[in-house]
Structure 1
Amino acid sequence: MTDAPLAAVTGGTGFLGRHVVAALAAQGWRVRVLVRRECGAEGLPAEPLRGDLADAAALCRLVSGAQAVVHLAGLTKAHGPAEFLAVNRDGSARLAEAVVRAAPEARCVLVSSLAAREPHLSPYAASKRAGERAAVAALGPAGRWVVLRPSVIYGPGDLEGLLLRRLANSAIVPVPRAPEPRIAMVHARDVAAAVAALCRSGPLATPWGGTFEVTDARREGYGWRELLRGLAQGLRQRPRFLEVPDAAMLAAGVAADGWARLTGRSGLFGLGKAREILHRDWGSGAERQLPEAVWAPRIGFEEGLRDTLAWWASLGLAPAPG
């Protein structure tokens, strides 16, 4: 397999990363993943390389000899804007600079977030947009790069999704008031397939130099009630929905931020996340998607939900399917 093409991946040991590594390996790639601890890559069909996004030398070693570079690593929770920027912006720039120095011919897939479309909403969203800009500036307009902005990613292995499970399993479920926000979804395997398709060389008209959103076939998204009702049915629950005013949701975010400062422990929910939740349009459109000749989603929400519920059941967190 020494003649197999090499893909260098950051964030390869995370939820989405494991799906991406599996997809690349299935297509015959040799995969090298950046890890803080080598034991973190156990079970992955990949070669671990010690380092992190702050280590420029390790990043050069990671991408050296690679035909494709996939950037997945990033923070989803932090103690403040500076910590988000240090990883999501500066780490992305450092990786791009390593590509320019050590793998200038590599195809680069920069996996960002749909949140980057609305950078004013939260420090996280702002840091993802800043990371896109920093990486693209380093790679240059003539580089072979593409930015992907997945919508809400779910599927087996998503530990953060267990928070939604806890919510859907409640007797009373809080939801935003009308007009109900719309949220596009996408299964992790579909995102991984999009990444693998972009890494592949060949006759496909790969849209280098573009930014594309990645969702399932229902690009306009889903309402909160629809999502949570589907989860609750899979958990054999019949929750009641309680409409929460925007002001109450924002106040809860402020309180969560205060608690995080008091305890020194950052959480997923805060004022920024509350503002993201309350944003009314997290849908997408055909003009923002990858060309169908390159990639198209295959997994609908019902199928993906069954897949996720089966994984929860394997952990004893949901009733067995049947």
Structure 2
Amino acid sequence: MRSPLIALTGVTGFIGGRIARHLSLRGFRLRALVRPESKSRLPGEVPLEVCLGSLADGKALASLLDGVDGLVHCAGLVRGLKASQFDAVNVAGTERLVRLARQSPTPPRLILISSLAARQPKLSPYALSKFRAEQSLARLGEGLSWLVLRPPAVYGPGDRELLPLLKTLARGVVPILGPADGRFSLLFVDDLARAVEKALVCPEVRGQVLELHDGKPGGYGWDELPAIAEAFRGGKVVRLPLPEWSLRAAAGLAALSAWVGRSPMLTQGKVNELRYPDWVCDNNAIGQALDWQPEIQLVQGLRLTLGSARAT
């Protein structure tokens, strides 16, 4: 009996690459959509059948989906200033995939990797685009076996977005970016990959949006980070509160990079997300639906992430 063939988007990114690595180790066959200019960023240790193209290329998407058993859609735009930029990738790209999947003689099981930001779509163009992608899947996915996973901030080996913050923590300086009462969940990337595997092999669980986190009830508070950093380092740390005005000013300066064709990560929308007080997830639904539980909490995850960064 042949192992299932899974189509992947976003495999050249941090999360998509780790999902591909995990699924390959678990015996799945993989086919990936890859933009030609991103081919050099493919995870080299993962055997992949490659379809060259983008989410805007209907012919490439049709080749990607031909005869597959499952589709894991984790490609998405995370940097940008305008809603139209995010919508063109995160919304329109998802809609093309869903329409083509429905046309397949045997429609694949579809797993959409969304974001906890979709829970508060008014905060940023990115959050709105992820919410709209979920809505598009629900609207267009009639007849499909689909599931949405909404992770919080994801970190782990190979991450580049959170790595500067994690390295700062490891050096003994703890930036406080959110409000004093703010709480948030986190998730180690390999726990997300295991959840994707569970989602693929449980086709009877469908039409749901499931949050997931690293198992710490109530998440983390910004005021708890110094103690966590001290436990990781085995020594004292320095708190560095960054008031909202300073983040707004930094986002304003970062926006100037758009003039030279660069998309900033820190935007006014991202500041809205950072300053929002409640990014805590609930694992009850996913635990019951998929029999999934996280394995890696923050201190161990920091060791794995920073150890990997030092090795490269």
Alpha carbons 2:180, 2:223 under 8 Å: kept: no
Does residue 275 in structure 1 map to residue 276 in structure 2? no
Residues 239-298 of structure 1, C-alpha deviations (whole Å, 9 max, x = no match): 4223333344334333432x2344432111010111100000100224553426531111
Partners of 1:228 and 1:91 in 2: how far apart?
40
The Cα RMSD (Å) is 2.4
Q: Distance in 2 between matches of 1:34 and 1:26?
A: 19
Q: CA shift at 1:66, angstroms?
A: 0.7
Give the structure 2 partner of residue 320 of structure 1. Answer: none
Q: Which residue of 1 is the match for residue 162 of structure 2? A: 161
Whether 1:36 aligns to 2:38 is no
Is the contact between residue 34 and residue 50 of structure 2 (CA under 8 Å) also seen in structure 1? Answer: yes
Mean Cα deviation higher: 70-79 or 15-24:
15-24
User: Against the structure 1 CA distance between its residues 171 and 303, is the aligned structure 2 distance closer, same or farther, given a 3 Å change threshold?
Assistant: closer
**Distance (Å, rounded) in 2 between the aligned partners of 1:288 and 1:248:** 38
1:221 corresponds, among 212, 219, 231, to 219
CA distance in 2: counterparts of 1:177 and 1:43, whole angstroms: 38
Question: Is residue 2:295 matched to residue 1:295?
Answer: no
Q: Say which SS state the counterpart of residue 7 (structure 1) adopts.
A: strand
The answer for the alignment partner of 1:150 in structure 2 is: 151
- Cα distance in 2 for partners of 1:172, 1:296 equals 31
Q: Which residue number corresponds to residue 193 of structure 1?
A: 194
Find 1:208's aligned residue among 206, 209, 212.
206
For 2:22 and 2:263, the matched residues in 1 are separated by 32
State the Cα deviation string for residues 129-176 of structure 1 (Å, max 9, x = none): 111112232212x42000110111111111112221354367765424
142-151 or 239-248, larger mean C-alpha shift = 239-248
- For 2:193, give the aligned amino acid: A
User: How do 1:114-129 residues align onto structure 2 when only pairs under 5 Å count?
Assistant: 114-129=116-131
Alignment of 1:45-194 (within 5 A): 45-102=47-104, 104-140=106-142, 142-168=143-169, 173-176=174-177, 178-194=179-195
In 1: Cα distance, 2:132 partner to 2:102 partner: 19
One-letter identity of the residue aligned with 2:152: S
Rounded Cα–Cα distance in structure 1 between residues aligned with 2:11 and 2:127: 21
Distance 2:173 2:310 in 1: 22
Moved more, 185-194 or 73-82: 73-82
Larger deviation: 65-74 or 217-226? 217-226
Q: Which secondary structure state, in structure 2, belongs to the residue aligned with residue 217 of structure 1?
A: coil
- Alignment of 1:244 onto 2:242: yes
Count of aligned pairs between the two proteins: 309
Contact 1:21 1:45 in 2 (8 A): no
Match of 1:264 in 2: 261
Separation in 2, partners of 1:103, 1:314: 46
- What is the rounded CA distance, in whole Å, between the counterparts of 2:182 and 2:108 in structure 1? 39
TM-score where L is the length of structure 2: 0.90
Paired residue secondary structure (2:240): strand
Deviations 1:7-45 (A, max 9, x none): 001012211112211221222211101111344333322
Q: Which moved more, 1:216-225 or 1:183-192?
A: 216-225
Question: CA 1:184 to 1:17, structure 2 compared with 1: closer, same or farther past 3 Å?
Answer: same
SS in structure 2 at match of 1:25: helix
Give the letter aligned to residue 20 of structure 1.
Answer: I
Asked if 1 retains the 8 angstrom alpha-carbon contact of 2:152 and 2:213, the reply is yes
Q: State the SS of the aligned residue for 1:285.
A: coil
Point out the more displaced range, 293-302 or 110-119. Answer: 293-302
Structure 2 gaps of 5+ residues are: none
The equivalent residue for 1:319 is none
* Residue 241 to residue 221, structure 1, CA distance change in 2 (3 Å): same
- In structure 2, distance between residues paired with 1:193 and 1:187: 10
Contact 1:165/1:231 (8 A) holds in 2? no
Does the 8 Å CA contact 2:232/2:299 hold for their aligned counterparts?
A: no
